[in-house]
Structure 1
């Protein structure tokens, strides 16, 4: 519509703010960073499952100096972020096979949003890329963590007990890898199919 469009005197007028990030995932991460008191300023970040780049966008806006953005897919990453010199984009890349050749800098903050794979398989692959004091924020998607036959109609996990169980499973995996739990947060943004996702934050405890 045009700026000069005539409206009725009693018409309801709303100012719609443009999205802050390139995708809704940026809002999820922003909430987690605030809840877990994680400041990306000056950090070298790793975005696992970067997709269109919502997490990357959030980290850059929060002051990260470089982001290694990894995804098994291709062509999804937002064009503006592709042109950003602070971003190293690794498409068609499985994080489970990434080494220091691809990510030469020690990572200060890893953020993870993956699908069709359990975080218990992803976290071990991320550890060797982190520095001694690194932090991690991971998005737990219950539909990809429960066992076969446990997902409800429409691909939605509705049982709160199941959601809690898979979250505890991911936390236990992280603790075994040398992480300390910083917090757990229900995602403020519901998954596109209706799944209620969970954000978990960790910090490394090891000094090795």
Structure 2
């Protein structure tokens, strides 16, 4: 009898089109959001049969898990971004940007010192102004007034960013 072919769970999720990248696959696997043949699997490297039944507990609402943080804050503090021009400082993959757009922001300046990290879906959205390789410390002004700013940065003090 021949053994069934197996592959890593994170790779299989991408190959089946359930998630766009292995990084996203790893995130939802570690969060316990993936069921394989009815059993929760929480290790991305788990070898899974190519014909296994795979289900996500819930579809991902945002392009990045960081979106959950901002969505929770907007709700908790009753902040309405509908119709606003916003800035997302430290945008990375764009979880915050995605939340802002889904909550009605008319434009989001997605700023990050990195390059090539912002999700493709957001890059294609005409409401997003992509500002890669941009250190917020050195931004004097944007093309228009911004009425809401969210900041998620790790390698710089907010004292150096805020005026």
TM value normalised by structure 1: 0.52
Q: 2:67 aligns with which of 26, 46, 66?
A: 26
Q: 2:124 aligns with which of 58, 83, 90?
A: 83
What CA distance in whole angstroms lies between the structure 2 residues aligned with 1:35 and 1:92?
Answer: 32
Q: Which has the higher contact order (CA 8 A, sep 6+)?
A: 1
Q: 2:99 aligns with which of 55, 58, 67?
A: 58
What CA distance in whole angstroms lies between the structure 2 residues aligned with 1:39 and 1:48?
Answer: 18
Give me the CA root mean square deviation: 2.1
What CA distance in whole angstroms lies between the structure 1 residues aligned with 2:91 and 2:156?
Answer: 14
Q: Residue 197 of structure 1 aligns with which residue?
A: none
What CA distance in whole angstroms lies between the structure 1 residues aligned with 2:115 and 2:56?
Answer: 35
Q: 1:108 aligns with which of 138, 147, 150?
A: 147
What CA distance in whole angstroms lies between the structure 2 residues aligned with 1:59 and 1:84?
Answer: 13
User: What's the offset of the Cα at 1:32?
Assistant: 0.4
What CA distance in whole angstroms lies between the structure 2 residues aligned with 1:21 and 1:113?
Answer: 16
The answer for unaligned runs of 5 or more in structure 2 is: 1-11, 17-36, 41-54
What CA distance in whole angstroms lies between the structure 2 residues aligned with 1:85 and 1:74?
Answer: 19
Q: Which stretches of structure 1, 4 residues or more, deviate above 3 A after TM superposition?
A: 11-15
Closer, same or farther: CA 84–15 of 1 in aligned 2, 3 Å: closer
TM value normalised by structure 2: 0.65
Closer, same or farther: CA 86–121 of 1 in aligned 2, 3 Å: same
Q: Residue 19 of structure 2 aligns with which residue?
A: none
The answer for unaligned runs of 5 or more in structure 1 is: 3-7, 125-208
